[in-house]
Amino acid sequence: MFSIPVHELIKRPGEMRELVMQFDLDQELGTGYAAVQKGQWLKLDLRLESVHEGILATGEVKTEASTECSRCLDEMNLPIEVDFQELFAYSSSSDDELLVDGDHIDLEQVVIDSVVLSLPFQPVCSQDCLGLCAECGFRLNEDPNHKHEVKVDPRFSALEGFLSKEE
C-alpha cells in the first residue's frame, strides 16, 4: 500500500514527481487513548526528488484519530496533519537508513512513525474541560458548582462531640 514506484527518478538528480494518494488503512495506527482506526481514510501528499544519494521523500499525511477526552471521557475525533521528510538511499552506510528497494520506496514505516508520534498522549475535548467529579463521576462541564457534603474521616468522628459542645 505504501510502496511507491520511483524507476523514472533513480539516478537522475534534479528530477521531481508529486503524488496525491488517498486510501483506507488496513491496520490500526497507535495505541492508548488515541488511534487511527483500521478502515479510516488516510491522505498522502507526496513530493519525490532525485538527489545524488537517493530519493528524497517529502510529504504531508492527513487523517483522523478516534479517542476520548482524558478529562471527561467524551468520545471525539482528532484531525491529524503531520509533515515528514526522509531520504531513501541507493546504498546503505548504516543500519538505520531507509533504502531504495529495486525501483520502489516503502513509505510504510515513515508514515506510521509520523502519525503515531503526532497522536496526543492525553487528548482533551477543549482546554477548559473540567472533567468528572472524583467522587460520583458527574460531568463538571454541566454544572461547574457541583459539590458534595464534606465527609468526616471516621478516625476523627469522636472529635465531632467537642465541636457541638462549643457551639
Strand order in the sheet with 75-89: 16-24, 41-50, 54-68, 75-89, 98-99
Q: Same domain for 117 and 135?
A: no
Domain span including residue 144: 130-167
Q: What is the pTM of this model?
A: 0.75
Q: Same domain for 120 and 138?
A: no
Determine the pLDDT at residue 147.
87
Phi, psi of 50 (to 5 degrees): -85, 125
pLDDT tens-digit series, residues 109-129: 999 999 999 998 889 999 999
Residue carrying the nine cell digits 462541564: 141
Determine the pLDDT at residue 47.
96
Judging by DSSP bridges, how do beta strands 3-5 and 75-89 pair with one another? unpaired
Report the C-alpha gap between 129 and 69 in whole angstroms.
9
Helix (H) or strand (E) holding 49: strand 41-50
Q: Same domain for 91 and 33?
A: yes
Number of domains in the chain: 2
Nearest to 7 by CA among 55, 56, 44: 55
